[in-house]
Structure 1
Amino acid sequence: MTPPRPASNQRSNGDFDESCVFCLIGSGQDAHAEVIGKNDELVCFRDICPAAPHHYLVVPRQHILSCFSLQPQHIGLVEKMADMGRAALHDQGITNMKDIRLGFHKPPYTSVDHLHLHVLAPASQISDRWIHKFRPGTHKFVTEEDLRNVLQKTNTVTETSEGLGNIYFSR
């Protein structure tokens, strides 16, 4: 018996995980997501549990587990994700780009095992209830800029023996 062929919008080379909600959103198979921007590589949509007046997620269509799966060749992807996030904020009327927060949760603090950039604005209005999840420099959250800087200096992102207190990169 031959295995079933993936639907035309599924990727058969491991870039698509049919059990991943973000893969489904990226492929257009989740009608509940409020997509506000997309291109061939990325999709931006509203977070279902917003921590700020504007809270979006930018995900690659390719299934990448987390920031710990990234290597230096992914710097361009991270930059494109940030650019899409900023463009989404601009399209939604946000003009003060100094009062935004762009970043990634570090495992095990990710709710979905698919790389996703949190885009929040105004950062000064992040809910007191959720601020602990989006505080830069903590064991839970790394800014887009810090992640790019670390990727430029190393080969791969790895966990620390202290349980991800600080990300570091192995050579």
Structure 2
Amino acid sequence: MKSCIFCDIAEKKSPETVIEFENDELIIFKDIRPAAKHHFLAVPKVHYDSVKSLNKEEHLVLINNLETSLKDLLQSRGVDVNDALYGFHWPPFISVKHLHMHAMAPASEMTFMSRMVFRPNSLWFSTVDYVRNWLK
């Protein structure tokens, strides 16, 4: 199998990446191309190619844990979690073929271009609620 950068980060093989949060299920780190002042990625330690790899209602637990962990991290830094955008790029519009949830805040201050790249429920980016409904 070809090497996966997010698997390498989760396995601590990428010393230049600062892990902002970690538990048994996931890791969180800053996006290298931030679209907002606070832009983090939550990545499961188990490799899934994308949201399209999720096909069971039991994956809802994973989605909820990714979102809750991102919200907790933002909140711990004094960021308004209600002015944040959470979601996933939809294949084929993904840069890394490993499931990852974005959290960007404050969403109200994102640039025009960032709002286009992360346009909710477009062909290329889906909100967490959309993915939850899709899995049911």
After TM superposition, is the score higher than 0.5? yes
Output the CA distance in 2 between the equivalents of 1:35 and 1:138.
29
Q: Does 1:141 align with 2:125?
A: yes
Choose the corresponding residue for 2:68, options 83, 88, 106: 83
Output the CA distance in 2 between the equivalents of 1:57 and 1:142.
15
Q: Which has the higher contact order (CA 8 A, sep 6+)?
A: 2
Q: Does 1:65 align with 2:49?
A: yes
**Regions of 4+ moved over 4 Å:** none
Considering fraction of residues, name the structure with more helix.
2
Q: How does 1:51-62 map to 2 (within 5 A)?
A: 51-62=35-46
- The Cα RMSD (Å) is 1.2
Q: Aligned residue pairs: how many?
A: 135
Choose the corresponding residue for 1:128, options 112, 115, 128: 112
* Secondary structure of 1:31 counterpart: coil
**Bigger-Rg structure (1/2):** 1
- Residues 18, 24 of structure 1: 8 Å contact kept: no
Choose the corresponding residue for 1:43, options 27, 45, 59: 27
Which amino acid letter does the alignment assign opposite residue 88 of structure 1? L
Which amino acid letter does the alignment assign opposite residue 61 of structure 2? G
Provide structure 1 residue ranges, at least 5 long, that are not aligned to the other structure.
1-16, 153-171
Q: Which residue of 2 aligns with 1:27?
A: 11
Identity %: 39
Output the CA distance in 1 between the equivalents of 2:131 and 2:6.
21
Output the CA distance in 2 between the equivalents of 1:111 and 1:24.
16
Choose the corresponding residue for 1:107, options 66, 91, 104: 91
Output the CA distance in 2 between the equivalents of 1:29 and 1:39.
17
* Secondary structure of 1:83 counterpart: helix
- Residues 104, 116 of structure 1: 8 Å contact kept: yes
Name the TM-score, length of structure 2 as normaliser.
Answer: 0.95
Provide structure 2 residue ranges, at least 5 long, that are not aligned to the other structure.
none
After TM superposition, give the deviation of residue 18 of structure 1 in Å: 6.5
